[in-house]
Structure 1
Amino acid sequence: MAVNHSIDNDSIHRQHRSVPALDTLRGRIPQLLKDIARDASRRDLQRELPFEAFALIRQAGLGALRIPRELGGPGGSVSDYIELIASLASADPNVAHALRSHFNFSEAVIHSPDSAEKRDYVAKTLDGKLFAGAHTEVGAPLGTILTRLTRVGDGYRLNGRKWYATGSAYADFLSFSATDDDGKLISVLLPADREGIQVLDDWDGMGQRLTASGGVHLDNVEVHASEIKTRSHNAEVGRHCSTLRQLHLAACAAGVVRNIREDAVDYVRKQARAAMHSPADIARDDQFVQQVVGEISANAYAVDALIATTAAMLDQSAQALTVGSATVDQQLITASISNAQMQVVVAKLALRAAEVLFEVGGGSATSRKYNFDRHWRNIRTVLNHNPLLHKARVVGDFYLNENTTHLREGLVF
């Protein structure tokens, strides 16, 4: 099914937006979370894409969180951004995950040299625009780009089919990689409603079902010369953004664990009955139920702490990039190894929390109406984006052999 980008564009596109201060932005988050969480489980059950959530995010100005104050933004830190993603994920992890491409784009922009292009991207972000796109090819080896940009008269045409287009159904601008007539690798940034761009709602993963992570069909899409970019970037910025993309996903898992804790407490208080052989009269007084809720809560606490520690490391590497510090290479390595170690532990704690949630009740806890299984499905799907066995191996190689090759090359995905 193709996604119609015109669903709410008229109501959410506003010119000359006034960007709120950081404290004002933070103050808008609690109500936003309530609004997004309200129907999250139902949307998952009915596979209803959360367009309204992204309208609210635009209206709140959250997409501009990382734009520095000197560029007209609120100046939020990496820690602010990651906490936002974890909070959004506690309401709906699909919404949090779908913002990954946008924040990756804005992070690369703020660390790029001053240029007219950078100022244009910053202005669009401050105006509430969201960015996404896709680079992976359907039916091609990793790294192979089959999508073609062909010169036609004074302009260009783009044809191809992309996959893993996370967030593209909700974005205003989409980035795609392609090869030109000379075989050179390029990228284009196009309005999402450009004729010939068809975002397909065909993601069939068992979890994160509403992230719009499926395909995009590019059918003879018109491309202007000004929309073509030669694919090049500062290697150190690329390393920083790679680690940040991974941390974004871990923050999604962290938010799900917070939601598991909320569901466990709510279910026990409102629905659960004491087990037949329990010495307690009500479930909330059952010592084993208390133990399960305690374990889930401890896991949530530990996951949040690990996420926050890693985010602080990335704040340091981001600052090093900003000032051009001579220690930036070492700080990027420190951030990357912190992230890899965090991922391994968070994965185990998050999956464990999703598993033991069912121990707070009997057979009724598996009722479809509660949809508790979505937590495990969502966490497992998020974790599959980051190969944990590879991460653990890279960490071991680092400590045993002081090998930083994979950390420098960004191969911890």
Structure 2
Amino acid sequence: MPAANPRPPVTATAPGPPTTAQVIADDAEALAVAAALAEEFRAGAAARDAERGLPTREVERLSASGLLAVTVPAEHGGADVRTETLAEVFRLLGSADASLAQIPQSHFAYVNVVRLHGTPAQREFLFGEVLAGRRLGNAQSEAGTKHVQDIRTRLRRRPDGSYVLDGVKSYCTGALFADWIPVLARADDDRPHVAYVPRHAPGVTVVDDWDGMGQRTTASGTVRLAGVAVPADRVLPHHRTLEGPQLHGALAQLLHAAIDTGLAAGALAEAVAFVRTKSRSWFESGAETAAEDPLLIQRFGEPALQVRTAEALLKEAARGVDAARARLTDDTAAEASVAVAAAKVRAAQAAVEVSSALFEVAGTRSALASLNLHRHWRDARTHTLHDPARWKIRHIGRYVLDGTRPPRHGLL
């Protein structure tokens, strides 16, 4: 790990047990910390997945490292790193453990909501919590509704200005590990708001019922909200996010793309290591080792190209988001969203295809359950179902063909 930050750690005392976190100073330190943690997390990834051992210790390490606060604005004491840096942080973590990398994705999305729509007092409080290592989960999606934007959780206003929150949320990644759970709900005006609710507030129940074939340790369970009291100053007007040029959706999607890109790179690295150390050469090749088999060498070039392409598009998209943030208009936001959509499509394809090719190049032994190499494919296939790539391709095509900007719905 890099040397201790010269700035003192920040300590929080609410809403749960005290947490102490380092404060990362800049982009370079963020990348160094992420690289070191990725190597640390890689060692236990296969066992955690096989046993569905929730990564409580690893999540605590993320908090203590200061990585979860790297997007806090400089005026509030954060590093305010570039989007390109944040994407690389997620790519590094995804290359080590895609499930673990998924846990803080919503954290950063909802830190961004505070940045966009928080009042000065809300920013001071919530950014302070994040700097102290507090984790934001998510309670956004709902099961059994007509579509992803059919939100039925309700935030009803009381006469004193506070709110009462009721609803049931599904796929709540990271909620089990959260200190605060941002809940997407419709208020009395039927517009979406986000309520920042303490994980252990009365009326909040987090159920560990996630049973996906992949991303087994993301703790993406159910959150039940029954008569949860919410002070007025813990509610932010999320509907304003989509009322003008916005990068909120692009940022969230970019982090998904970074996880998939990292996953593909991790699967390729594991295939390389396996072939170099465990695979036997095919008798017809005449090669002494599998790594010298000319057909295998050719086959390895194909996933390597997929990974390189995904990495290049990820960097390009991240730089596009940074450029648009510096001069935000409908046109710059559209260009950034299209770049992110392209990166997301390519990253999803790379993750699924490279994690499948791993077995083709590594051979029969790679299929042993005891090695758990199939976790890469299971994670890729599960994570890439998050939102359909076919619609991203459609929006890219419309933009290229007639200049139609992508819609503002938060998933582009």
Q: Matches of 2:191 and 2:379 in 1, distance apart? A: 38
Matches within 5 A, 1:65-104: 65-104=70-109
Q: Matches of 1:76 and 1:133 in 2, distance apart? A: 22
Q: Matches of 1:151 and 1:236 in 2, distance apart? A: 23
Partner of 1:346 in structure 2? 347
Q: Matches of 1:136 and 1:26 in 2, distance apart? A: 31
Give the counterpart letter for 1:134 in structure 2: A
Q: What's the % identity of the aligned pairs?
A: 30
Matches within 5 A, 1:51-200: 51-112=56-117, 115-142=120-147, 143-149=149-155, 157-179=164-186, 186-200=193-207
Q: Matches of 1:349 and 1:230 in 2, distance apart? A: 36
Partner of 2:299 in structure 1? 292
Residue 207 of structure 1 pairs with residue 205 of structure 2:
no
Cα displacement (A) at 1:260: 1.2
Cα displacement (A) at 1:342: 2.5
Q: Matches of 1:198 and 1:312 in 2, distance apart? A: 39
Cα displacement (A) at 1:412: 4.9
SS in 2 for 1:132: coil
299-308 vs 204-213, which deviates more?
204-213
Partner of 1:302 in structure 2? 309
Q: Once the two structures are superposed, what CA deviation does each residue of 1:176-207 show, in whole Å capped at 9, x if it has no partner?
A: 13345676754321111223322222222222
Give the counterpart letter for 2:220 in structure 1: S
Cα displacement (A) at 1:86: 0.4
Partner of 2:230 in structure 1? 223
Give the counterpart letter for 2:388 in structure 1: P
Cα displacement (A) at 1:81: 0.2
Partner of 2:5 in structure 1? none
Give the counterpart letter for 2:335 in structure 1: T
Verify the 8 A CA contact 2:139 2:169 in the aligned structure 1.
yes
Cα displacement (A) at 1:227: 2.9
Unaligned runs of 5+ in 1: 1-8, 322-327
Partner of 1:370 in structure 2? 371
Q: Matches of 1:268 and 1:167 in 2, distance apart? A: 35
341-350 vs 260-269, which deviates more?
341-350
Partner of 1:3 in structure 2? none
Q: Matches of 2:189 and 2:336 in 1, distance apart? A: 38
Partner of 2:283 in structure 1? 276
Cα displacement (A) at 1:40: 0.6
Cα displacement (A) at 1:149: 4.2
Partner of 2:29 in structure 1? 24
285-294 vs 299-308, which deviates more?
285-294
Q: Matches of 2:408 and 2:189 in 1, distance apart? A: 27
Q: Matches of 1:176 and 1:412 in 2, distance apart? A: 17
Number of equivalent positions: 394
Verify the 8 A CA contact 1:207 1:377 in the aligned structure 2.
yes
The counterpart of 2:44, out of the listed 29, 36, 39, is: 39
Residue 311 of structure 1 pairs with residue 310 of structure 2:
no
Unaligned runs of 5+ in 2: 1-15
Decide whether aligned partners of structure 1 residues 106 and 179 sit closer, same or farther in structure 2, where only a CA change above 3 A counts. Answer: closer
Cα displacement (A) at 1:95: 1.5
Verify the 8 A CA contact 1:157 1:220 in the aligned structure 2.
yes
Verify the 8 A CA contact 2:122 2:234 in the aligned structure 1.
no
Cα displacement (A) at 1:156: 5.2
Q: TM-score w.r.t. structure 1 length? A: 0.87
Partner of 1:4 in structure 2? none
Partner of 1:332 in structure 2? 333
172-181 vs 189-198, which deviates more?
172-181
Q: Matches of 2:253 and 2:389 in 1, distance apart? A: 11
Q: Matches of 2:254 and 2:163 in 1, distance apart? A: 37
Cα displacement (A) at 1:245: 1.1
Q: TM-score w.r.t. structure 2 length? A: 0.87
Residue 401 of structure 1 pairs with residue 402 of structure 2:
yes
SS in 2 for 1:218: strand
Cα displacement (A) at 1:94: 1.0
Cα displacement (A) at 1:237: 7.1
RMSD over equivalenced CA pairs, Å = 2.5
Verify the 8 A CA contact 2:261 2:348 in the aligned structure 1.
no
Verify the 8 A CA contact 1:391 1:412 in the aligned structure 2.
no
Verify the 8 A CA contact 1:108 1:237 in the aligned structure 2.
no
Cα displacement (A) at 1:229: 4.0
Q: Matches of 2:398 and 2:380 in 1, distance apart? A: 27
Decide whether aligned partners of structure 1 residues 355 and 293 sit closer, same or farther in structure 2, where only a CA change above 3 A counts. Answer: same
Partner of 1:5 in structure 2? none
Give the counterpart letter for 2:364 in structure 1: G
Cα displacement (A) at 1:231: 4.2
Verify the 8 A CA contact 2:261 2:350 in the aligned structure 1.
no
Q: Once the two structures are superposed, what CA deviation does each residue of 1:266-297 show, in whole Å capped at 9, x if it has no partner?
A: 11122111123331122122222222333332
Partner of 2:248 in structure 1? 241
